[in-house]
Amino acid sequence: MTTTIFDAMTGSAQPRAAAAGASAPAAPADSSAPAAPARAVSSAAPVPTGTQRLTFAKALTLGLRRALADDPKVLLMGEDIGRLGGVFRVTDGLQAEFGEDRVVDTPLAESGIVGTAIGLAMRGYRPVVEIQFDGFIFPAYDQITTQLAKMHYRSKGALQLPVVIRVPYGGGIGAVEHHSESPEVLFAHTAGLRVVTPSSPAEAYALIQQAVASPDPVLFFEPKGRYWEKGDVDLDAAAPAPHGAAATGMDRARVVRTGTDVTLVAYGPTVATAVKAAEAAAAEGTSIEVVDLRTLSPLDTATVAESVRRTGRCVVVHEAPVTYGSGAEVAARITEDCFFHLEAPVLRVGGFHTPYPVAKIEHDYLPGLDRVLDAVDRALAF
C-alpha cells in the first residue's frame, strides 16, 4: 500500500519549486525489517565534530544529517526540501548526500504527505515530514489528529508510528498571511502526540535527534524567527539510540537562568525574550528565574513547580494567543500544585485573541520585552 501511494505522490504532481519524481524505497515483505534505501552517507563528506558556533537552522541540518546517517530507515519528506534545500535551507545538501530515496521532494499536498508518512511508519520506516509553514498544516490536521495520534491506542499498543512532523512556526519575519501562526496548543491538546519546540541551536541539534529516535509521533515546532540566531553546539554529544523505549530527554523542562524573585516560563521563540527580560530586570535589582519548557506534551510541571515554590511568583510567556493557550494549562497546574507557595496569581503574556496581524504591526502583537517586564512588575506588586 505504501509503495503505491508513495509512487503516486512523487510521480503525479510537481512541488512548488523543486522537480519531483523520486520513488520511495520499496516496502519489504517483512514490516519489522524494512530494506535500507540504496544510498548511504557519502564517504567523501566530512563529519563535523567538536563544538561549533552554528545558526539554529544549521544545527537542525546537522541533527537531521546525523539521524539519516545513523539509521537507514530514516527518510525526509516535504515540499521543496530536496534540490532547493527547503525554503529556510534547513535540509540544504541532504538530498545530494543521501539521495532522492532518502530526501524526497513531494507535491503540494500536506494531507497526502502525512498520510504517506503514516503508511511508511506502519511498514517500519521513520519518516521526518516538513510542513513548509505553520499555517499550511491544517490540510493535514485530520490525518494528524484522527490517525497519527490514535493508531497506537486503537491497536492496543501493537502499532507504533515514529513520525516526526517539522513545523516552522511563530512570527517576527515579516511574512504574509498564513505564514506566522502558532498552532502548537491544538496538537498539545491531542492525546497521543508529543509536542516539542527547541529554543536554541544546541537544543535544536539534540532535540531533533531525540524526536527522530522516539517511538511516538512528534510534532516538532521550530521557531523560524530564530533560524538565523547563532549559538555553541556540541556536535559530539551522544545521539539517542533508535527505537528507544522512551524519550525522557525531550520531556524535561530546563532552567536556563536561575533567580529568586519570579519564575518566568517560556518555550520556543519566547525563551530568548524571557532571558532578555531577566537581564533587564537584574539591572533594577529583580532576580528572575527562566524555565524553558522544551516540550508542551507531555508537560513537565515538576520542574516549573520546583522553581515556583522557591520564587513564589510565576509569569508564562508565549507567542500564541493567551486565550485558551498553553499558558492557561501551565497556570492551572501551578496554581493547583503550588497554591500555598504563591505570593501572586500566575500571570500570562502572549498574542491577542485576533488573527495574526499584517507584518507592519506584528511586533505590537508579539510579547516583547516591555510587556513581559510589565507582567513581572504586576506579579511583584501583589
Which residues are known to be catalytic? 179
Task: Classify strands 230-234 and 51-55 as parallel, antiparallel or unpaired.
Answer: antiparallel
Q: How far apart are alpha carbons 101 and 341 in whole angstroms? A: 55
- Cα-to-chain-centroid distance, residue 312: 30
Q: How far apart are alpha carbons 220 and 184 in whole angstroms? A: 9
Of 208, 200, 201, 203, the C-alpha closest to 167 is: 208
Contact 304, 265 (CB under 8 A): yes
Grid cell in block for residue 234: 556540541
Q: How far apart are alpha carbons 226 and 272 in whole angstroms? A: 9
Q: How far apart are alpha carbons 66 and 55 in whole angstroms? A: 17
Contact 41, 187 (CB under 8 A): no
Q: How far apart are alpha carbons 379 and 289 in whole angstroms? A: 14
> What's the distance, Cα to Cα, between the start and end of the chain in Å?
61
Which residues have C-beta within 8 Å of that of residue 339, sequence separation ≥ 6?
A: none
Q: At residue 220, what are phi and psi to the nearest 5 degrees?
A: -110, 100
Grid cell in block for residue 30: 517483512
Q: Note the maximum CA span of the chain.
A: 66
Q: What is the 3-state secondary structure (H, E, C) of 107-157?
A: CCCHHHHHHHHHHHHHCCCEEEEECCCHHHCHHHHHHHHHHHCCHHHHCCC
Encoded amino acid at 121, one letter = A
